Structure 1
Amino acid sequence: MPKLVFQNNPQLNSLMKKHCVELHQTGQFSRFFLDYIEGKKELEPFYSHAPKLESFKNAIEQKTFSAEHRKGLVDALHSQYANQEVSYAVSSNIEALASERTFTVTTGHQLNLFTGPLYFIYKIVSTINLAKKLAKTYPDYKFVPVYWMATEDHDFDEINYFKLDGKKYQWNSEQTGAVGDFELDKTFKEFLKSVSFAPEVFLDAYASSKTLSEAARKYVNSLFGEEGLLVVDGDDAKLKREFTEVILSDLFEHKPFEKATEATDALEELGYSSQIFPREVNFFYLDKGVRERIEKMESGFGVVNTELRFTEQEMKALIEKHPERFSPNVVLRPLYQEVILPNLAYLGGPAEVVYWLQLKGVFDHFEVPFPVLLPRNFALILNEKVQRKMEQLNWSFEDLFVDLEHWKKTFVKAEASMDIELKKQKEVISALFDTKGKEAAHLEKTLENAFEAGKVRSLKIIDQMATKLRKAEERRLNTQIERACCIQELVKPGGSPQERVVNMMQFYLSNPELISELLDCFDPLDFRMMVLSDESR
């Protein structure tokens, strides 16, 4: 049983001011994603519920989840939280899952070091706030927010670092297999010394844990436990046993491949690019230090990059005895979540949301209700320095998302002390050469071509002069341009949106109430970019 602790952590009033910008104005989202949240009719066959609050009434009615499955989930969570202190809210939510009137809303993410990019936090805050909104809208039911730890992922290079103040902090390890099982060994302890500035919530979690998954559970629980967030690890033998029917179907009948391919082809016919690529077999073989693809072979099955081989009978026996050794890939992980959770909604990033649309046929085949598919909240946090520079440039919040090069050209042209394009001069020279070329052609026909060549050379010289004028004006306006570049580096560090690059500590270290303020600001059903600024200025 988890150890129960009581904490008093009242939510403070937000010091953040929120301004919302339409997503299509930011230039950060695909047409595929925007068409989904805008409700384009052609996409309706690929989901069950529109991303709206009123959709949850039908989702609740359609979600069936047996008492036996609920008991198995509660038992698994008790095991996963064993020997860990939890808040009353977490303990209550675990027990509540035994009731047929309790449902989950879920987000998931990899085990990035120290949470990785900001959007890790945004996903969880969005999910917590959705549970709260649903509780107010449907008071006869209870809604539990869930963070699904992607402990089985094996791409260590994707999660072994975080970025802070432009610097990359990285842990290098020779360990292989599922990252959740990575031991926090001597190399990690050395890495931990380099981030001694990190808040205690992280340092304590890592220092007191044996594995990466254990540490992630601890710091997520410390940050969000008071909100009742449950952390679920799908790498669990009890939970995997409920997925054996799908494992067998995938390996021996290839039904998920068939259904996902049908949807993928249909979406591509509508002009939408595939986000994921289904395989005949959509499982990895999972064991200590190993997570490799299973492939169908003439004589049965093989595990890529190993010498492991199984006959069909051996594989069926292995599925029955050790379902935990079968790890779903991106095609079947969503289905696995919905099989083991009484779940109503999944909240994901823009790429996640659209790849789920390739999977509805898979859900239908296994008669598993497709959840309400929602985007997480999107946000941009401004610091005082950037707000001051925005005021100096007279920038609006929408201006934060302009293309910098386009803005610079437009700005320099508007502020230039003279016509830096030399447009009138080009027109005069062009007309002069054209007129004189025609006159000269009466003397000798080849002279018209000579004048045309002279015009081209002259216009090139004028272009060169225009470039020099533009660069001179840029030097004169350098202060304003540098301000814009500084703003751009906060909005899109290294060319990528802030929330996909910067770690939460960029703001959390100076504002320990960051998460409380985000909880105040975020609305999980408002599909706009939130620009958050300091209201105290």
Structure 2
Amino acid sequence: MIKSTVEPECTGQFSPLFLDYLKQKPELRKFYNQFPTVENFKSLIEGKEFSLEKRETLARVLESQYKNAGMTIPEHTKAQIQALKQANTFTVTTGHQLNLFTGPLYFIYKIVSTINLAERLKVAYPEHHFIPVYWIATEDHDFDEINYFKLDGKKYQWQTDQTGPVGAFKLDESFKGFFKEVAHFVPDFFKEAYLGSETLAEAGRKYVHHLFGDKGLLIVDGNDQELKRMFLPVIKEDLIGHRPHDLANRTTAELEEMGYKSQIYPREINFFYMKDGLRERIEKSGGTFYVLNSDILFTEAEIMHLVEQHPERFSPNVVLRPLYEETILPNLAYLGGPAEVAYWLQLKPIFDYFGEQFPALMPRNFALVLDVVVQRKIDKLGLTDYDLFQSFDEWKKAFVSQHASMDITLQQEKVALSEIFQASGKNASGLDKSLGNAFEAARVRAGKIMDQLATKVRKAEERRQGDQLRQREEIQVYLYPGGSPQERIENFMKFYLSDPDFVESLFGFFDPFDFNFIIMKKENG
């Protein structure tokens, strides 16, 4: 494959806030710590405080998580885990929902970008060690968002009555029935991961480790009692003082006053209560805490006691999950999509309040893969990289006009006809003033007739150029399946099944410090 890039603003896919962040607009400087350049990581390294006690806990928990998933931990993974105990080791992190079979392509792109960042930092700061981390979102409860994947226009979906955090979902008979639909084409490592696991979380850990474990990636599950014990001060403050809500709302209001749209909406309490298949929001009324959609109630004393005894039952929402990640990891950077980067910008005052360093916000790499067939169509139509991001209707209008056998607007004819009516009307008005008005009315009617004829000429040209227009429509469907960008819809198996080296090839194309949109083109032959 060969690589080309276009500026992100030319794709029309990103919000103004995200684009202005990439441009380092001065008014946004207060909402982040360091803009992600190699040089700026020096101050991030110097500013990150992470105790040896936390390091020991993190390493111990990680080793336990791998073993509890029924995995034999390879030596290189053990070495990464042990390295976390050293004061000169830092992490760079990405996270994502626990989509079936990885979900859309950008899941893969996130992790490749993160691994490449760790390698780039090691070159720039050889006295330190950098570990790429995938935060596996086992506490997520939005099952409808993750219970499917799409491949070549078909949606494969698992239906189950299970509720609560999706990581705990059992791979039961309903899953095995679903798996039969895909077993004939999925790679063996997926079969081993899913059929050899009891829960969705176990399977996710196994297949991600298969794909990226040898690159040094560690998989962290935040749903852990020991890890959440590090987060106790935040849990208590959010439940009782509601400070995160106030700080995030203030920042959100500032951004909205500057014309930026809010990505997340803080609540007075930003935790869910999680136990035995339940994950529901906690709310407070008077002096009573209650769990939505249940009959669970707590007094303030009871919920504070429960936090001390069972912190694992308190699951942060999107407002506090970023702070949780940074609290339990020696982390320097978070890599995410445009919406993720944007909502992190609403959260910096919360980090400041709790004395936690705000990480560098790194846009993951964005990419489009063109196979040989679609590349031939693109070449035949003479499309540029920038043309690929133009709307089909705009492109069609320009293309049909450019390649028409005549002026499809009939502009010259319209002007000539208008001039005839104007001149004749001027002469006729000398005979009878009312004739001038009659000729003007006729000129308007004739103009409408010419517009109708121009529409017919344009449609005739579109029929004549039908093959080219159909090819462009086919390209559009390939680039935007279902109307959304390829990387947000297609599963990586679309390319992996015909090219087992596809994921490995991404490491050579992605640069974590290049925020342009990447186009990867498979060469003919």
Shared fold (TM-score, shorter chain, > 0.5): yes
CA distance in 2, matches of 1:318, 1:333: 20
Q: What corresponds to 2:7 in structure 1?
A: 22
CA distance in 2, matches of 1:42, 1:289: 44
Deviations 1:166-198 (A, max 9, x none): 111111111111111111111110100000110
1:89 equivalent among 71, 76, 91:
76
| Secondary structure in structure 2 of the residue aligned to 1:194 | helix
Alignment of 1:37-186 (within 5 A): 37-82=22-67, 83-186=70-173
CA-based RMSD: 1.5
2:321 equivalent among 295, 310, 333:
333
Alignment of 1:347-366 (within 5 A): 347-366=335-354
Deviations 1:106-151 (A, max 9, x none): 0000011100000000000000000000011100000000000111
Query: 1:452 Cα shift?
Result: 4.5
Change (3 A) 1:86 1:442: farther
1:292–1:304 Cα contact (<8 Å) kept: yes
Mean CA deviation greater in 425-434 or 253-262: 425-434
Deviations 1:329-350 (A, max 9, x none): 1100000000000000000001
1:105–1:346 Cα contact (<8 Å) kept: yes
Identity of aligned residues (%): 57
1:37–1:51 Cα contact (<8 Å) kept: no
TM-score, normalising length: structure 1: 0.94
CA distance in 2, matches of 1:440, 1:173: 82
Alignment of 1:287-366 (within 5 A): 287-366=275-354
Alignment of 1:110-509 (within 5 A): 110-196=97-183, 197-436=185-424, 451-509=439-497
Query: 1:451 Cα shift?
Result: 4.7
CA distance in 2, matches of 1:188, 1:400: 39
Equivalent AA in structure 2 for residue 35 of structure 1: D
Equivalent AA in structure 2 for residue 283 of structure 1: F
2:31–2:345 Cα contact (<8 Å) kept: yes
Q: What corresponds to 1:5 in structure 2?
A: none
TM-score, normalising length: structure 2: 0.96
Deviations 1:276-298 (A, max 9, x none): 11111111111122111111111
CA distance in 1, matches of 2:318, 2:438: 65
CA distance in 2, matches of 1:283, 1:442: 85
Deviations 1:420-459 (A, max 9, x none): 1111222233334445556666677666655554444332
1:74–1:95 Cα contact (<8 Å) kept: yes
| Secondary structure in structure 1 of the residue aligned to 2:27 | helix
Structure 2 unaligned spans of 5+: none
Change (3 A) 1:237 1:459: same
Change (3 A) 1:290 1:446: farther
Q: How many residues align?
A: 522
Equivalent AA in structure 2 for residue 166 of structure 1: G
Query: 1:100 Cα shift?
Result: 0.6
1:108–1:149 Cα contact (<8 Å) kept: yes
Query: 1:57 Cα shift?
Result: 0.2
Query: 1:30 Cα shift?
Result: 1.6
Equivalent AA in structure 1 for residue 279 of structure 2: R
CA distance in 2, matches of 1:394, 1:296: 62
CA distance in 2, matches of 1:440, 1:377: 70
